[in-house]
Amino acid sequence: MESKISIFLPTYNLCNLLVLVFFCFAACPSLGRLSFNFYATSCPAAELMVSNTVRAASSNDPTIPGKLLRLLFHDCFVEGCDASVLLQGNGTERSDPANTSLGGSSVIDSAKRVLEIFCPGTVSCADIIALAARDAVAIQAGGPAFQIPTGRKDGRISNSVNVRPNIVDTSFTMDEMIKLFNSKGLSLDDLVTLSGAHTIGLAHCSAFSDRLVDTSLDITYAKELSKKCPAGGSSTSNTVSNDPETSFAFDNQYYGNLLAHKGLFQSDSVLLEDGRTRKQVEEFANNEERFFRSWGESFLKLTTIEVKTDNEGEIRQSCSFTN
């Protein structure tokens, strides 16, 4: 199997590393504003501190990796990757109903407290979110490991009105998802790849209640969901695993589930039904290495959406409030 970049020590051979870096600069417009090993001088152990925090939290709660991935998506798709989703207060992104169930912020806060002790005013909350999501997938869930650039600044603006127009609703059609992803500089390939995040994590019954009566869903799977989600799936407290087969492993099982008509959300099932994406679903279902390689590329693009650098942002002392 092709070697992968580890979190702290690159294990790609030189050719593969050069290809990855070239891809990044070609596909991530904001990457030139960030850099690999950004904290090498100012806080050499920054990534290790984040990694250790994620490892400790995930060991106590195996749902943490899925929560951190979802937190990253909701941050980067609204105002860019600037930790605006963490700001508290009336009318902030965090106050929108779509974000009230977000988890993982306590892990970010824990990492920030440690970093402020050893490297005060140095590491942004935005970088911590990106690093934590990457590490949660690689360390705890068994997914691919790779380097990502850092140097993001924290945003000062967070408005709840910006949330709904900028995040994927589980009932979205393919065209609606393509339009949203394209607006973030993400391609159709990125859409299929990043949807693979649903190979881990949990979903509230109310988020897929429409699927319980969807005849395209595997009958046995639909019955299992109905048992876990009584009252027509209207419960906002009951949850089920996004991936019924390997719930806490970051693998390619999600795509196998789609082929078996066990996609939990409507936005999952359309990936199989639409001719524009079915081939990639089939390829990922049959080739985990291909999915992992694509995940690394798409994750890099995701984490560089509309990043803020220099005077465009700040390094918050607390992730919940601006300075």
75 is in an annotated binding site: yes
CA 268 to chain centre: 15
Instruction: Give me the catalytic one of 67, 70, 74, 153.
Output: 74
- Residue 173, marked binder: no
Q: What is the DSSP letter of 22?
A: H
Would residue 74 show up in a list of annotated catalytic residues for this protein? yes
Listed residue (206, 177, 132) closest to 274, CA to CA: 177
Query: Is 204 annotated to bind ligand?
Result: no
101 marked ligand binding residue: no
Q: How far is CA 129 from each of CA 49, 123, 140, 233, 235, rounded to the nearest angstrom?
A: 13, 11, 16, 31, 29
213 assigned to a ligand binding site = no
Q: Given its phi and psi angles, is residue 110 left (phi above 0), alpha (psi -120 to 50 degrees) or beta?
A: alpha
Three-state DSSP class for residue 82: coil
Q: Does 261 appear as a known binding residue?
A: no
Q: Is 312 annotated as a binding residue?
A: no
Element (H, E) at 222: helix 219-228
Q: Does the annotation list 84 as a binding residue? A: yes
Helix (H, G, I), strand (E, B) or coil at 151: coil
Indicate the SS3 state at residue 299. Answer: helix
189 labeled binding residue: no
Q: Answer yes or no: are the C-beta atoms of 35 and 153 closer than 8 Å.
A: no
Tokens of 24: 């990044």
Question: For the chain, give me the number of helices (H) and strands (E)?
Answer: 12, 2
182 Cβ neighbours under 8 A, 6+ residues apart: none
Query: What gap in Å lies between CA 75 and CA 166, rounded to an integer?
Result: 10
Which residue numbers belong to the known binding site for heme b? 198
Which residues are part of the catalytic machinery? 74
* Annotated binding-site residue numbers: 75, 78, 80, 82, 84, 93, 198-199, 243, 246, 251
Binding residues for Ca(2+): 75, 78, 80, 82, 84, 93, 199, 243, 246, 251
